[in-house]
Amino acid sequence: AKQVAFFGQELQKLVQFLGVSEGQMQMGHMRFEPNINVHITDQNGVVHKTAITEIKNLNSFSVLERATDYEIQRQVHEWETTGSLGRKCTMGWDESRGATFLQREKEEAHDYRYFPDPDLVPIEVSDEWIGQIKDQIGELPAARRKRYIDALGLPAADAAILAGDRATGDFFEQALAAGGASRRVANLLLGHGKRLANDRNISIAQLGIAPARFAEIAQLIDADKLAASNAGPLLDAMIDDKTPAEQVATRLGLIQVSDAGPIDAAIDALIAENPKSLQDFRGGKQAAFGSLVGAIMKQVKGGNPKLVQERLRQKLA
């Protein structure tokens, strides 16, 4: 039953990704009608196949799972207690009782009296045509999600979000093509980018910040020019300021100081003024180190935290 519900969710993502439907269950865009039968192996190794039942008009994934699970158990119980494999039939789902109920028994194929419509010309589907369609559609969500995990090393949860929405996934791809590192760009998009988009009730692609500019921010962080915590304020500003990310960050005072000179001077002054903190640290109190780092960061505005910690440890050694 869980596999059936999972399949339904994947199908919803697929139709949404392809743009063939909004796929909103609550709006009636999608309904599921699982066909269920069970293969039961008895103690002699004989396989008994129950008759197929179709449950009609299921309108949520939770109902799909519950109805499927109930019908599987019902068919098994009927065989175990009566030996009957049942008859092909159409079932409904009674949510209040949490049970399926018979709507009608199904006819056999010959009872439907199927015959070809002379006005409908047979269509031959060639491998070439299928290939052309695949090329037009491009990479589908499941394949894209797998690539993000296997090739790019993204966490499964991040990969699922990026691959589940075509516009967001394409935006991510363009940012990578512009030189952004995959995990860094993913963090920016799904963190600060998503927050900005949600605040405005729009998509990330509608923010007005081009994918290449997300790549610029990622590059600044990876080059230790920008603290990851400052990516949010920078993105906020870049919605209206179209100049390069580094220029915007410089104007806002967000570029990190990576010159060891001012940092060393601040460390020397701090140690001279706070001999007790130095004694505490050398005495094994790690909290003293954090206090010293915080004081230096206040003194050297925009100081590179990594460099501050590195230089401080060297001074305290």
> Domain ranges in the chain?
2-112, 137-251, 260-316
Per residue of the chain (317 residues), what is the pLDDT tens digit?
999 999 999 999 999 999 899 989 888 899 999 999 999 999 999 999 999 999 999 999 999 999 999 999 999 999 999 999 999 999 999 999 999 999 999 877 777 777 888 899 889 999 999 999 999 988 999 999 999 999 999 999 999 999 988 999 999 999 999 999 999 999 999 999 999 999 999 988 888 899 999 999 999 999 988 988 889 999 999 988 899 999 999 999 888 766 677 777 777 777 777 777 667 766 666 666 777 777 777 766 666 777 777 777 777 76
Torsion-angle region of 85 (φ positive above 0: left; ψ -120 to 50: alpha; else: beta)? alpha
Topology of domain 260-316, CATH? Arc Repressor Mutant, subunit A (1.10.10)
Q: Which helix (H) or strand (E) holds 94?
A: strand 89-94
How many angstroms separate the Cα of 165 from the Cα of each of 161, 168, 221, 308? 7, 5, 26, 40
pLDDT at 274: 74
pLDDT at 224: 86
Distance (Å, whole) CA 171 – CA 176: 9
Largest distance between two CA atoms of the chain = 98
User: At 46, which amino acid appears?
Assistant: V
Dihedral of CA 96/99/102/103: which sign?
positive
Distance (Å, whole) CA 134 – CA 140: 9
Angle between helix 61-82 and 2-18 (nearest 10): 150
Residue with tokens 């559609």: 137
- Whole-model pTM: value is 0.73
pLDDT at 302: 65
